[in-house]
Amino acid sequence: MTDILLAHGSRHPRAAEGLEELRAAVTFRTGRPTRVAYLDLQQPLLADVARPGDTVVPLLFTDAFHTRHDVPAATAGLGVRVTAPLGLGDDIAAVLRPRVQPGAVLYAVGSSMPGANQDVARLAAQLGTDVAFATCSPRYSSGSGPVIPLFVTYGLLLDRVPGAQPLAAELAPVVAHRILHR
């Protein structure tokens, strides 16, 4: 059995780099074989690597379109176990908390599903930060404070914030817990 980290996929040239950092850190924590697969834009797609009995961890923060539609469609009929996605719970807040500093802004992709954006705003309030999105209001502007990116890996939307670093391997404890306690 293999654990599969399921990412959306990106055209960014360094996207696979951040996911490889996370994969290696998860493998170290779990001692189990771990691979990366994608929903779109990159190879391999989930259907190309998944086998019955594998565990799939969706690397998604919000309960929005990709979580509700793309993941179920990609996993249908594969015989895999799907864990909860990363989400926006206390475990993610604990990962983000060391990055919090005065005037910080939690920066996320944003969703056309308003409830998803409200969930990100609640997490920002829990952390004591402002919130900004790449694709919807309130949008990030270069005059905003220090950024806490809610991004697993490098991506075109993260590049809009000079110097912002993805979470990558910092998410390993959360992902390993999803795998070991599914």
Q: Tens-of-pLDDT digits for all 182 residues of the chain?
A: 999 999 998 989 999 999 999 999 999 999 999 999 999 989 999 999 999 999 999 999 999 888 999 999 999 999 999 999 999 999 999 999 999 999 999 999 999 987 999 999 999 999 999 999 999 999 998 877 899 999 999 999 999 999 899 999 999 999 999 999 97
What pLDDT sits at residue 144? 75
What pLDDT sits at residue 129? 97
pTM of the predicted model as reported, rounded to 2 decimal places:
0.95
Q: Which residue has the tokens 């799907």?
A: 82
What pLDDT sits at residue 48? 96
Residue ranges covered by each domain of the chain: 3-87+169-180, 90-167
Q: Are 117 and 94 in contact (CB under 8 A)?
A: no
Alpha-carbon distances of 23 from 12, 33, 86, rounded to whole Å: 18, 9, 14
The helix (H) or strand (E) run that includes residue 105 is strand 105-108
Which tens digits make up the pLDDT trace of 47-93? 999 999 999 999 999 998 889 999 999 999 999 999 999 999 999 99
Task: Please provide the CATH number assigned to the domain covering 3-87+169-180.
Answer: 3.40.50.1400
Q: Name which of 4, 7, 1, 5 is nearest 155 in CA terms.
A: 7
What pLDDT sits at residue 52? 98
What pLDDT sits at residue 41? 83
Residues 88-93: contacts with CB within 8 Å, 24+ apart? 88/61, 88/62, 88/119, 88/120, 88/122, 88/123, 91/173, 91/174, 91/177, 92/61, 92/123, 92/174, 93/123, 93/126, 93/127
CA dihedral (153, 159, 150, 130) in degrees, to 10, reads 170
Residue 71, token pair as written in the block? 């993941």
Backbone angles phi, psi at 43, to 5 degrees: -115, 150
Number of H helices, E strands in the chain: 7, 7
Hey, which residues does 128 pair with through a beta bridge?
none
Q: Are 9 and 60 in contact (CB under 8 A)?
A: no
What pLDDT sits at residue 65? 86
Q: Name which of 174, 103, 181 is nearest 143 in CA terms.
A: 103
